[in-house]
Amino acid sequence: MDVVQSLITYSVLTKKKVLLDQMRKGLMVLDVLPQIQKHPELFEHLFVDKVDQITPEYVLELLDLRDENDSIPAKRCCQTLSAFIQKSEETDLSDFLQFVTGSPTVTGSMVPGCIKVSCTDTDSFYASTCLMELKVLLQFSTYKEFESTLRMVLKGKSFTMA
């Protein structure tokens, strides 16, 4: 029993504490920690996720839908993505944010237009969480097909167009 407790204590507390201590030392060396301690409200958005409700309007505001490919299929693709987001529940929007940004919640780094959307002729959806970039497929003939495929991707099921 002591071994199990020790393993849990290490993985839950100790391992994370070491990382936090290193970060604290780094902030101290850079003389940032005293400023954070004096003005925590100014730095809060860098360390704490906002707990605001995720709405379709907010997620749409995060998207940069200006595709370089100004074709009719690309415009239709962006409209379809917009329709998907407008019809989504908060859990789906959270899954969408997780897929595209790596965070299921709203964070301080998310500003209007921060997620670059491009519609491409590829065989799968692609998201770069570092670049906050989403590549959407052009190949869907119906909204229902688009919706079911994107939901599969968001839920973590693999998908590739043949």
Domain range summary for the chain, segments of one domain joined by +:
2-47, 56-154
Which among 107, 158, 145, 149 is positioned nearest to 129, based on CA atoms?
Answer: 107
pLDDT of residue 106: 72
**Which one is predicted more confidently, 142 or 69?**
142
Tokens standing for residue 154? 């968001």
pLDDT of residue 104: 79
Instruction: Give the tens place of pLDDT for each residue, 31-62.
Output: 989 998 898 888 877 776 665 688 999 899 99
**Which one is predicted more confidently, 5 or 132?**
132
Look-up: residue for tokens 């100004």? 70
Q: 56-154 has which CATH code?
A: 3.30.2410.10
**Dihedral angle over CA of 123, 124, 130, 134, nearest 10:** 100
